[in-house]
Amino acid sequence: MSRLKSKLAIEGGTPVRQTMLPYGRQLVDETDIQAVAEVLRSDWLTTGPVVSEFEHEFTKLTGANEAVAFSNGTASLHAAMYAIGVDVADEIIVPAITFVATANCIVYQGGIPVFADVHPDTLLLDPVCVEAKITSHTKAIIAMDYAGHPCDYDTLRVIADRHGLILIADACHSLGANYRSRVVGSLADLNVFSFHPVKAVTTGEGGMVTTDDEDMAARMRIFRNHGITNDHRERELQGSFRYEMVDLGYNYRITDIQCVLGLSQLKKLPSFISRRRAIAAKYDAALANNKAVSVLGVHEDVLHAYHLYVVKLQHHQLRVSRLEIFEALRAENIGVNVHYMPLYMHPYHKQFVDNDANEICPVAEEAFDSILSLPIFPSMTNEDVTHVIEALNKVLNWFAS
């Protein structure tokens, strides 16, 4: 009997793989390690020259005038909210489907996240729903490039300009993507990136904000350094001990150790993205005629970064829930995941919605019940990809209605 028709591992059968394949992971090689080792032998481990070098290379990559590096992606989002002056009772529109940090950064500054629905084809922020959520208290729109697919920034820009709003790109998924022949990183007023290990490139933890606004960049540099106007290296170069804290900031500084890893990783970004797209193409071909799943849409005017590869289960073709499919695939040693539960369904964020409303964002809620993220990362082998496809078919065939 073939594996495709064999007993599921969760039912006592033999798993497709002997070891767990994660949904994402970093790819760090000897050149990365050597670069880090060189910084470890240097005089500067933090607030040193490699930080500004990393920022400069990022401006060249994205076409933005300014880039400000941070300790992690969440710190970058928080700094963006500080830079635009979010205050108590300011409303910021965010997509219902995103990681919690997209909304948390608003709350850190006393603002209110307002959840807008997503488009059913891509799960990207729906501009029609955005406009319906705008009030006299709205200050900005955060568009999140879900899975690595850039949002419809031209339409969102028209809406933002019409209402006098700031447009922010949560581009933590989309480094390496293009929108209408423009590189992600210069599509919004502020563009936010993450360098977590599962992202396109990694610094361990780390983040960046790009912008063409010099004043906002200066504010963010102060914000990441306790609200102090200069850092240790600047004082060393000036031969001065004097510093001034001009506002309440945080220690969101990134280290030279992280930044040199980032510099080394940036050189590999084209090959990383190329491999992600190749894996996605294999999934697309394998799943094209599978009635039990559908893949998310990709607009013709974008180049997708494929941070995630997300499928939707077609429940009318299956006799079990998404949870049972998830558990069965994990038992086959395929590390599927779910990205994400609608923000307002988290206990903390329920305070920002009307408790009497049955469905705040119906498209997001329906999607959450069916989405699965399949493994995708640059070091996946073709055999790994085959295992994912084989396991998915095995589980879906077993549970077919």
> What is the pLDDT of the chain when averaged over all its residues?
96
pLDDT per residue as tens digits for the range 343-355: 999 999 999 998 6
User: With 50 as the cut, is the pLDDT of residue 1 above it?
Assistant: no
User: With 60 as the cut, is the pLDDT of residue 3 above it?
Assistant: no
CATH architecture for the domain at 30-266? 3-Layer(aba) Sandwich (3.40)
From start to end of 195-255, where are the E strands? Answer: 207-211
- 161's CB contacts (< 8 A; 6+ apart) are none
pTM to 2 decimal places: 0.95
Q: pLDDT category, 357, cuts 50, 70, 90?
A: low
Q: How far apart (Å, rounded) are the C-alpha atoms in residues 176 and 183?
A: 7
In CATH, 3-24+269-398 is 3.50.50.60: no
Range from 52-66, 237-251, 383-397 carrying the lowest mean pLDDT: 237-251
Q: How far apart (Å, rounded) are the C-alpha atoms in residues 179 and 189?
A: 15
Which pair of structure tokens corresponds to residue 67?
A: 């880039």
Q: How far apart (Å, rounded) are the C-alpha atoms in residues 351 and 289?
A: 42
pLDDT of 235: 84
User: With 80 as the cut, is the pLDDT of residue 5 above it?
Assistant: no
- The number of residues making up the chain comes to 401
User: With 70 as the cut, is the pLDDT of residue 364 above it?
Assistant: yes
Q: What percent of the chain has pLDDT over 90?
A: 93
Cite the active site residues. 199
Cis peptide before 23 (omega within 30 of 0): no
- Sketch the domain layout of the chain as residue ranges: 3-24+269-398, 30-266
Strands 166-170 and 182-183: unpaired
pLDDT of 4: 44
